[in-house]
Chain A
Amino acid sequence: MAVKAQAQPLASRQASVGTLRQVLAPIGQIFVFVVGSSLILGAIVLVLALLLSRTQANLLSGVLTVLPLVIIDGLVLGFLYATIALGYTLVYGVLEFINFAHGEIYMVGAFVGGGLGLWLASQGLLAAMHPLLFVVFALLVAMTASGLLAVGIERFAYRPLRNAPRLVPLISAIGVSLVLQDLVRLLAGPSRFNLRYPQLGLSRRFQLLEIPTAAGANLRVAIDSQSLIFIVTSLLMLIALNYLINVTKLGKAIRAVAQDRATASLMGINVNLIIAMTFFIGGALGGGAGVLFGVKYSTVNPYIGFIAGLKAFTAAVLGGIGNITGAMVGGIVLGLLEAFVSTYLTLFTGGRFSGPDYASVASFLILIGILIFRPSGLLGEATTQKV
C-alpha cells in the first residue's frame, strides 16, 4: 500500500514535468531559430559587405547601422507568418487538407478590427480608450469573428466534401476565398477599400541597447510600440496555443483526432465537434494576426490575405506541414529572410535591384527548395511535434 502511495505521485509528477517541457520546448525552439537565423543571415551579410566594401566605401557601417532594425522587422514579419501558418498546419494536422481560404480569414480579422476602430471612433469612445485597451478589444472581437467564420466555412464548404477526392475541397476553398475577398470589398465599399486603422498615438520607442561605435556617436537600438505589441502578443498567442494543444483535454482530443479519427470516436470524442474547434482555433489565430497587422501597418485592403496566406503556407511547409512548432519556426525563418533580402539586396546592388520586390522571390525559392530537398520540413521527421 505504501509503495503504491509513493508510485502514483511519481507517475503524475513525471507526466507534469513532461507537460511543462512540452509547453516550453517549442518556445525554446523558436528562440533558437530566431538567434540562429539572425546570426547566419547577419554573418552572410557581413561577409558580403566586407567583400563589397573595397568598391563601396562606408558600406560596412551602413550595413551595421540598419542591422538591428532589419532583425526587428524580420521578427514582426516572422511572427505574422508564424501566427497565420498555425491555421494551415492545425487544419492540415487533423484533416490532411490545405485550407486555402485561411488567408482570407486573416484578412477578415483585419477588417473586423479596423471596422471596430472606426465604429468606436464614430461613437467618440476611442479617444477615451487607452490604445492598448483598444488593441485587446479589437483582438478579442476579431479573433471571435474569424474563428466563427472558419467554423462556418468548414461546416458548409468542406464537411459535405469530406469523403470526396482530395482536389474537390481544395477547389471549394479557392472558391470561398474569392467570395470572401469580394464580399469584404462590397461591404467596405470604395471609400474603405483601403481601411485605415485608427491612429493610436503609440509613438513611443523603447530603447533596447546602445552600442558604442568607432565613429563616436553611439548606435541606439530601439523598437517602436507597434512592433513590440506585435511580437509580444503573437508570442503570447503561441504560448497559449502550445498550452492548449499539449495540456488541455481539448488539445489532447485534437491530437487524438489528428492521429486516428475512427479510434478517437471510439473514445467518445465527437470528431466533428473537435474538427470545428480546430478550425475555430486556427481561424482565431489568423484573425488576431490580422488585427496586429492593421495596428502595425495601419492600412488593410481586401487582398492582403492572398500574399500573406501564400507566405504563411510557405512557412508551414518550411517547418513541416502538420507540425505546430514547425509552423512557428518556419514563419520566423521566412520573416527574417525576407527582411534581410528587402534591405540588403537594395543596399548591396546600389539600388539596381529593389529588395522588397525580390523578398517574395527568395521566399518562394525556399519553398521550392524545401519541397525538393527536404519535404518533411526544417525540423525533419524525427523531431516533429505533430498535432
Chain B
Amino acid sequence: MALLELQNVHTFYGNIHALKGISLAVNEGEIVTLIGSNGAGKSTTLRTISGLLSPRQGQVLLNGRRIDTMPSHEIVKLGVSQSPEGRRIFPRLTVLENLEMGAYIHSRRDPQYQADLERVLDLFPRLRERVAQKGGTLSGGEQQMLAIGRALMSRPHVLLLDEPSMGLAPILVDQIFSIVQDINKQGTTILLVEQNALMALGIAHRGYVLQTGQIVLSDSAKRLSENETVQKAYLGLD
C-alpha cells in the first residue's frame, strides 16, 4: 500500500476546475516529483493533500486512511507537512519562532524538540546565525531554508515541497537539492513540486507530469528524463 495516495481527485476554485481527476501514489521512502508548466495544478495538488482545499470528488489516502475530509491542522498531526509555494514565512516572527511554529503539534517540553531544532540548524547553518532575526527580513534563499526547516520541525513522514528552488542562485539550488536528498535519506518521504524539472528528476525516484489539471505521464525519473516530450517541454533540450 502506498503511503500517500490520490484517487481521481477533482478540486475546484469556485467554478474553475483546477484538478481534473488526479491519481498518484507516493511510497514510503521515495522522492516523487510533480512537474508541469505554470497553472498545471501542481500547487493545487499539494494544497488538496494538506487539506487547505477539499476535493469535490475523489479521495486522498494516507496509509489507506481518508484524509480529504479533515481540516488541515489535523492532517499535519498525521505526519504530512508542507513547505508552501512562495515560502510563506511569518514575517514578524523571528527565525526561532517560525521554527517553533513548525513544531506546534509537539509539546515544548518534548525532549525531541531540541534535537529537531539542532538538526534543522545543522542542515541550514545560515539559519543558526539568524535565530533572533525577523523572518520577513531574511533574504529569499534564507526564507526558503527556513520554510523547509519549519516544515521539518513537525517530524513529518511525508514532506510536500512546493518549488523549493524558486528564485535561488544556481549554487543555492544545488545546495537545497542535496539537502532535500539528505532529508530523504534520513527517512522522510518527499513529494517535490518543481519548475526546475532537470534538477528534480535528478534526485527523484519517480515522477508525474501534470498538464492542465491532469496527469499525462508517469514513470521512473530516469525514463522521464529520457522521454522526448518531457525533454522538449520541460527540460529545454531539443
Contact = CB atoms under 8 A, between A and B. Distances in A.
Contacts of A262: 52, 84, 88
Contacts of A4: 118, 122
B166 interface: no
A269 interface: yes
A255 B92 contact: yes
A8 B81 contact: no
Contacts of A259: 90-93
Contacts of B128: 7, 11
A249 B106 CA distance: 11
Given A14-B131, A249-B104, A262-B52, A268 B76 contact: yes
Contacts of A271: 73
Nearest to B127: A11
A266 B84 contact: yes
B131 A266 contact: no
A252 interface: yes
Contacts of B96: 11, 15
B144 interface: no
A255 B93 contact: yes
Contacts of A266: 50, 52, 72, 76, 81-82, 84, 88
A87 B72 CA distance: 28
Contact of A260 (B51, B88, B132): B88
A264 interface: yes
Nearest to B82: A266
A218 interface: no
Contact of B101 (A8, A18, A252, A386): A252
Interface string B51-90: 1100000000000000000011100110001101000101
Contact of A255 (B72, B76, B90): B90
A249 B90 contact: no
B162 to A, nearest CB: 11
B101 A253 contact: yes
A15 B132 contact: yes
B222 interface: no
Q: Which range contains the number of A residues in contact with the other chain?
A: 20 to 34
Contacts of A249: 100, 104, 108
A259 to B, nearest CB: 5
Contact of A386 (B52, B92, B104): B92
Highest count of chain B CB atoms <10 Å: which of A4, A18, A255, A266: A266
Interface string A343-387: 000000000000000000000000000000000000000000010
B188 interface: no
Nearest to B86: A263
Contacts of B131: 11, 14-15
A369 B105 CA distance: 45
A8 B51 CA distance: 35
Contacts of B92: 255, 259, 386
A215 interface: no
B132 A18 contact: yes
A93 to B, nearest CB: 10
Contacts of B71: 265, 270
B90 A256 contact: yes
Given A11-B128, A249-B104, A256-B101, A265 B94 contact: no
A11 B127 CA distance: 10
Nearest to A387: B92
A8 B122 CA distance: 11
Interface string A1-20: 00010011001001100100
Contact of B100 (A11, A252, A265): A252
A175 to B, nearest CB: 29
A273 to B, nearest CB: 9
A211 B122 CA distance: 62
Interface string A263-288: 11111111100000000000000000
B97 interface: yes
Nearest to A266: B82
B143 interface: no
Interface string B97-114: 100111011001000001
A205 to B, nearest CB: 44
B118 A267 contact: no
A8 B131 CA distance: 10
24 contacts: A11-B96, A11-B128, A11-B131, A14-B132, A15-B94, A15-B132, A18-B94, A249-B100, A255-B92, A256-B93, A259-B90, A259-B93, A260-B88, A260-B90, A262-B52, A263-B84, A266-B52, A266-B88, A267-B76, A267-B105, A267-B154, A268-B154, A270-B71, A271-B73
Given A259-B93, A266-B72, 14 more contacts: A8-B114, A11-B131, A252-B97, A255-B90, A255-B97, A263-B90, A265-B72, A266-B50, A266-B81, A267-B73, A268-B73, A268-B154, A270-B71, A386-B92
